[in-house]
Amino acid sequence: MTEHVVILGGGTGGTVLANDLAHRLEAELDAGDVRITLVNDDPDHVYKPVWLYVPFGQREPADGRRPLSDLVDDAVDRRIDRVTEVDTDSRRLRTRDGDAIEYDYLALATGSALAPEEIPGLAESGHDYYSESGATALREELLSFTEGHLVLSVIGTPHMCPAAPLEFVFMADDWFRERGLREDVEITYTYPIQRVHGNPHIAEWARPLMDDRDIEVETFFNAEEVDPDARTVTAMEGTELDYDLLVAIPPHRGVDLVAESGLGDRGWVDVDKHTLEAEAADRVYALGDTADTGVPNAGSVAHYQAGVVGRRIASEVRGRPATATYDGKTLCFIETGMDAASYVEFDYENPPSPAPPSQKLHWSKLAYNEAYWLTARGLL
Amino acid sequence: MTVSDIEPDETVDSRGAACPGPLMDLIGALRNAEDGAVVRLLSDNEQSLTDVPEWAEEAGNELLETEELEDHYAFYVRKT
């Protein structure tokens, strides 16, 4: 009997997992004992970290897109479609077109989507760099922005790449300074809790840098409403800020089918944070942003989790006990300007200790952004 | 007021979530709640003992009670 592994989502987690399994189960695939299907609703794979650089005119959205057909092993069946239903009892999926797909093992790597409509006024007047269209629209504003108040407001958590809001204000500060405009541009950073980042160690490191660089900070700021005409953003806590350019990290959510299939809320699958198995169903895994593990929604996390899920599914297909576990490993480069960056690595047990910012780390980040395409192909 | 007198309108179970997950879950629930509604937050994260009271005070919401249970805490917060 052929075992069918179905992966939903062709982002970092899904693509790395597909290639990992194609390599790991090569003999079983050749023998027809296993079939792997990757379902994605876009023929392209998108590497989202490129978007941080788009508003500053340094990269193009196309730099972060490549066809899945160039990245995914030919032994994997690629299906450009959208799954709209998951029935974990009968192990059957239903696609947008009404087709049924049966699975023996399912991996959900459906990722995050933006939900600016949850905050009145945000979609009309806020900008973001968490989408291709947002990053290009923000570029139009930022490149001609020479004076006024730039507000970066983190509204939704969890959100993709938790370091990116800090990176944006550090880069903006440096970028305006280099161009002799910093005295005419006020920068304010808002965050929902009492510090500038969810992780207390990163927050403790970042706050003095922000103070040194005259980046104003508003903590306990949970944006509740944006008034596009008055150009104000108001928080649940009662604070109101005027802005000339609002850059927001909008609320995030996952795909609806997660909640509809009883696997978790807001598109995040409740999982065992070590095995990445769904709590509500057998033979279902989640990885990357989709897995509610409490670790950052970052590409490195999806990459490491894909290796764990790949090893576990391979063991199960072979009838062996699955022993691979995820230890919370997370790795992030953090830009601290236009030519300097820091770096953190941490896991469930060991907190981050940000490295002193350096040009070498900045170039390491840019180099990895190029080398990423090897990661997607399962080679790095 | 004792805990037994409080009837929460909604319970948010954040047990197992890493910091600041429980506080963000509470904020999310209160964001959508009616004025006067009471949300019960369940958390096993020690940091919630400081996060929740600090935020409730900052936001002008009322922390009615903090209940220490066997392996987690229950926070009762009224939206005001």
Shared domain for A172 and A66, answered yes or no, is no
CA pair distance A317, A21, nearest whole angstrom: 11
Q: Name the CA dihedral angle for A79, A82, A85, A87, rounded to a multiple of 10 degrees.
A: 20
The whole-angstrom distance between residue B31's C-alpha and the CA centroid of its chain comes to: 13
State which residue of chain B sits closest to A293, comparing Cα positions: B17
> CATH number for the domain including A196?
3.50.50.60
Mean pLDDT, all residues of chain A:
97
Q: Say if strands A232-235 and A240-242 run parallel, antiparallel, or are unpaired.
A: antiparallel
Q: Is residue A327 part of a domain?
A: no
Asked if the Cβ–Cβ distance from A238 to B59 is below 8 Å, we say yes
Q: Is residue A259 part of a domain?
A: yes
CA pair distance A313, A162, nearest whole angstrom: 29
- Positions in chain A short of pLDDT 70: none
> Which member of B17, B51, B59 has the closest CB to residue A237?
B59
Most B CBs within 10 Å: which of A194, A196, A202, as the mutation test of the B interface?
A194
Shared domain for A182 and A261, answered yes or no, is no
For residues A269 and A290, the answer to whether their CB atoms sit within 8 Å is: yes
Which among A200, A225, A251 is the end of a domain?
A251
- Structural domains in chain B? 3-78 (3.30.110.40)
Q: Classify residue A324 by burial, with Cβ atoms within 10 Å: 0-12, 13-18, 19+.
A: middle
Asked if the Cβ–Cβ distance from A193 to B21 is below 8 Å, we say no
CA pair distance A354, A48, nearest whole angstrom: 23
Shared domain for A87 and A176, answered yes or no, is no
Q: Is residue A129 part of a domain?
A: yes
State which residue of chain A sits closest to B54, comparing Cα positions: A194
Q: Is residue A339 part of a domain?
A: no
Q: Categorise residue B69: left if φ over 0, alpha if ψ from -120 to 50, beta otherwise.
A: beta
Q: How many CA atoms lie within 13 A of A270 on its CB side?
A: 14
Q: Which residue has the tokens 């730039």?
A: A150
Q: Min CA distance, B28 vs chain A (Å)? A: 9
DSSP H helical segments within B1-80, as ranges?
21-31, 48-59
pLDDT tens by residue, A234-252:
999 999 999 999 999 999 9
Taking 70 as the threshold, does the pLDDT of residue B1 lie above it? no
Shared domain for A199 and A231, answered yes or no, is yes
Q: Does A143 touch chain B (CB under 8 A)?
A: no
Q: Min CA distance, A332 vs chain B (Å)? A: 18
Q: Min CA distance, A52 vs chain B (Å)? A: 24
Shared domain for A108 and A120, answered yes or no, is no
Q: Does A273 touch chain B (CB under 8 A)?
A: yes
> Which member of B17, B23, B31 has the closest CB to residue A193?
B23
Shared domain for A218 and A288, answered yes or no, is no
Residue A290 per-residue DSSP state? G
Q: Min CA distance, B78 vs chain A (Å)? A: 14
Q: Min CA distance, B26 vs chain A (Å)? A: 12
> Which member of A192, A224, A295 has the closest CB to residue B24?
A192
Asked if the Cβ–Cβ distance from B59 to A192 is below 8 Å, we say no
Q: Does A66 touch chain B (CB under 8 A)?
A: no
Chain B residues with CB under 8 Å of A194 CB are 51, 54-55, 58
Domain housing A228: 115-251
Chain A residues with CB under 8 Å of B23 CB are 193
Give the global pTM: 0.95
Residues of B serving a catalytic function are: 19
Q: What is the DSSP string of A74-115?
A: TTSEEEE--EEEEETTTTEEEETTS-EEE-SEEEE----EE-
pLDDT tens by residue, A178-232:
999 999 999 999 999 999 999 999 999 999 999 999 999 999 999 999 999 999 9
Which among A283, A317, A351 is the end of a domain?
A317
What pLDDT is attached to residue A249? 97
State which residue of chain B sits closest to A251, comparing Cα positions: B28
3-state secondary structure (DSSP) of residue A18: helix
CA pair distance A257, A93, nearest whole angstrom: 10
Average pLDDT of the segment spanning B28-36? 91
Question: Structurally, how many domains does chain A consist of?
Answer: 2
Residue type, B32: N
What pLDDT is attached to residue A81? 96
Shared domain for A242 and A149, answered yes or no, is yes
> Which member of A198, A236, A238 has the closest CB to residue B20?
A198
What stretches of A207-326 adopt beta strand conformation (E)?
215-218, 223-227, 232-235, 240-242, 245-249, 252-253, 269-270, 284-286, 291-292
Q: Say if strands A330-335 and A341-346 run parallel, antiparallel, or are unpaired.
A: antiparallel
State which residue of chain B sits closest to A238, comparing Cα positions: B59
Q: Which residue has the tokens 């894909």?
A: A306
Shared domain for A108 and A97, answered yes or no, is yes
Shared domain for A108 and A15, answered yes or no, is yes
Shared domain for A213 and A170, answered yes or no, is yes
Which among A297, A317, A337 is the end of a domain?
A317
Element (H, E) at A38: strand A34-40
For residues B22 and B14, the answer to whether their CB atoms sit within 8 Å is: yes
**Angle subtended by helix axes A359-376 and A12-24, to nearest 10:** 60
Chain A residues with CB under 8 Å of B16 CB are 273, 294
Most B CBs within 10 Å: which of A220, A265, A271, A292, as the mutation test of the B interface?
A220
> Which member of B17, B19, B58 has the closest CB to residue A220?
B58
State which residue of chain A sits closest to B15, comparing Cα positions: A294
For residues B41 and B25, the answer to whether their CB atoms sit within 8 Å is: yes
Give the number of A-B residue pairs with CB atoms closer than 8 Å: 42
Of A169, A167, A164, A166, the C-alpha closest to A182 is A169
Q: Min CA distance, B76 vs chain A (Å)? A: 18
Shared domain for A148 and A247, answered yes or no, is yes
State which residue of chain B sits closest to A225, comparing Cα positions: B31
